[in-house]
């Protein structure tokens, strides 16, 4: 874990120590205490990356495009390592109130009107209006 805190990637550390990725994954699944330690290490590494952003941005002699790329890479990586702290926050809270009483009353009125129609009112002698059939 110290190597990761020194800035090395997980892939580099595993390769350096001769540990296969699947074996590391199995270790994470099988040991809650090791998993907690690994996540703590990730969080600390993200903190270090975020601190580097300020140092990189304050370098007035560096190429602006290089600075931007280095800063963006660290921001992206930190957001993936510790999303609850550095990830984008999406607010999906809804605070609208919907009142459907008017719509319900209108539906009830339409239903009552349909019940009040007599069978004679529904009789149709022809498909044409009376004024058209009378010549």
Would residue 100 count as lying in a domain?
no
Asked whether the predicted pLDDT for residue 68 surpasses 90, the reply is yes
Q: pTM to 2 decimals? A: 0.54
Asked whether the predicted pLDDT for residue 82 surpasses 90, the reply is no
Would residue 56 count as lying in a domain?
yes
pLDDT band with cut points at 50, 70 and 90 for residue 120: low
pLDDT, tens only, 9-24: 888 889 999 999 999 9
Q: Please, are residues 27 and 34 in contact by the beta-carbon 8 Å criterion?
A: yes
Q: Which residues of 105-124 are buried (b: 16+ CB within 10 A; e: fewer)?
A: eeeeeeeeeeeeeeeeeeee
* Structure confidence at residue 73 (pLDDT): 93
**Alpha-carbon distance 53 to 67, whole Å?**
9
Mean pLDDT value of segment 95-120: 79
Residue range(s) defining the domain that contains residue 13: 2-86
Number of domains in the chain: 1
Q: Tell me which long-range contacts 102-110 makes (C-beta under 8 A, separation of at least 24).
A: none
Would residue 24 count as lying in a domain?
yes
The CATH number of residue 74's host domain is 1.10.10.60
Mean pLDDT value of segment 67-73: 94
């Amino acid at each position: 874990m110290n190597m990761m805190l020194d800035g090395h990637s997980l892939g580099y550390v595993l390769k350096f120590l001769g540990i296969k990725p699947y074996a590391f994954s199995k270790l994470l699944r099988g040991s809650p205490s090791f998993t907690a330690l690994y996540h703590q290490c990730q969080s600390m590494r993200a903190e270090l990356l975020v601190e580097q952003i300020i140092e990189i941005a304050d370098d007035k002699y560096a190429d602006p495009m290089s600075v931007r790329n280095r800063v963006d890479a660290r921001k992206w990586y930190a957001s993936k390592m510790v999303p609850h702290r550095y990830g984008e926050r999406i607010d999906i809270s809804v605070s609208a109130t919907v009142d459907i009483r008017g719509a319900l009353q209108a539906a009830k009125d339409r239903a009552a009107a349909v019940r009040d129609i007599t069978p004679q009112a529904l009789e149709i002698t022809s498909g044409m209006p009376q004024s058209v059939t009378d010549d």
